[in-house]
Amino acid sequence: MMEIRTVGDGLVWRNPKPHVASRHAYFPSLARLGGRRLACSMAIAQAFEAPDMHSWVALSEDDGASWSLHGELFPRPRDGAWSDSCRITALPGGGAAAFALLADRRGREGEGLANPANLGFVPVSLRVLRSADGRSWGAAEEIRPPVEGPSFEICAPIVVLSDGRWVLPTSTWRGWDGACPGGMRMVAFVSPDGGRSWPGCWEVMDGAAEGVIHWESKIAELSDGRLLAVAWAFDEKASRDLPNRFAVSGDGGKGWSRPLSTGLQGQTMAVAALPGGGVLAVYRRTDRSGLWAEAARVDGERWVRLAEAPLWGARAAGLTAHGENMVENFNVLRFGAPSLIPMPDGTFLCAFWCYEDCVSGIRWIRLAVE
């Protein structure tokens, strides 16, 4: 019988002086840089969708046991009318790459990122940055999307496949006016040259015809070579979450299975490969409270649970909202967006954001799957 155990936990960063200034941390992502050095990116802002949201990086020299906030990932736009967030990933040859999304807040003072009237999103610009050591980052290079959004989601890091291709999971998103010519669907940009160009696009999960939006998507390459995609499925007409969905590709991303149910009720799922073709998932659960982990195997069209365990907040109340307006639900979240990476000793390191004592910070948990 498989078991998931917590073998360590701690804090990456939390505002040390909340009585002096409002600084909250959200949306972490982890990258192993070599040796015992790790990097954790995060967005720091006055509030969850504040216009001053900006990407920072924390570093660890001891495999994640302790952390220090190093600095900003890249300079802030001079006009101050853009907010940003990023996700980082380790590169096989060393160093890291960051996928950054810059959100244009001009002319929308007092507004959040999404339009509550139609679920539209502000205009965005996509970037990729590179670093050899996690400390200094090169200039932000523009990503020219191979499909029309008009806006796009940032939730997943770049995935570097074993054949060297870079894959960027995302979802198309409505513009602020509500227009979305191709519908809101899960796609993945593909780069054959290390992120210098993105000519390819995979159509991974398209629920537009049934009115289902696939959000917060991730892609992982399993140990048996299959590609696994997961997403939070939202039935917009009924204003309700569906069980998280998955799709599988056995031909390197050329074709994908139809979206299938994991049976998990949750959001912001992160996934990592387990030996033998299995998968470890960490997600914000919606049928029960808290952050949970599940080990599973994908057997054809079945998601087979092998083990599950609560990680944080399982006894807390009021961590999520389930009203009819999804934009309003976003605004009152109290935790989420886990990032998950394997460690050399066979354990997994997870980082996530959470409110504690009215301040949002970044926590880490180390997991053993046996």
Residues of the chain with pLDDT under 70: 78, 316-333
> What pLDDT was estimated at residue 325?
46
Q: How far apart are CA 192 and CA 31, in angstroms?
A: 21
Other Cβ atoms within 10 Å of 61 Cβ, number: 13
Nearest-angstrom CA–CA distance, 58 and 11: 11
Predicted local distance difference test score (pLDDT) of residue 21:
96
Q: What is the pLDDT of residue 331?
A: 45
CATH number at residue 334: 2.120.10.10
What local confidence, expressed as pLDDT, does residue 317 receive?
A: 59
The structure's pTM equals: 0.94
pLDDT on residue 334: 86
At 196, is the secondary structure helix, strand, or coil? coil
- CA nearest to 224, candidates 272, 277, 275: 277
Q: Name residues whose C-beta falls within 8 Å of residue 180's C-beta, 6 or more positions apart in sequence.
A: 149, 150, 172, 173, 174
Write out the residue range of the structural domain in which residue 326 sits: 4-369
How many Cα atoms sit within 13 Å of 154 on the Cβ side? 29
Domain count, the chain: 1
Rounded CA gap, 69 and 344, in Å? 24
DSSP secondary structure, 272-291, as one string: EEEGGGEEEEEEEESSSSSE
pLDDT tens per residue across span 278-296: 999 999 999 999 999 999 9
In the block, tokens 């959040």 appear at: 112
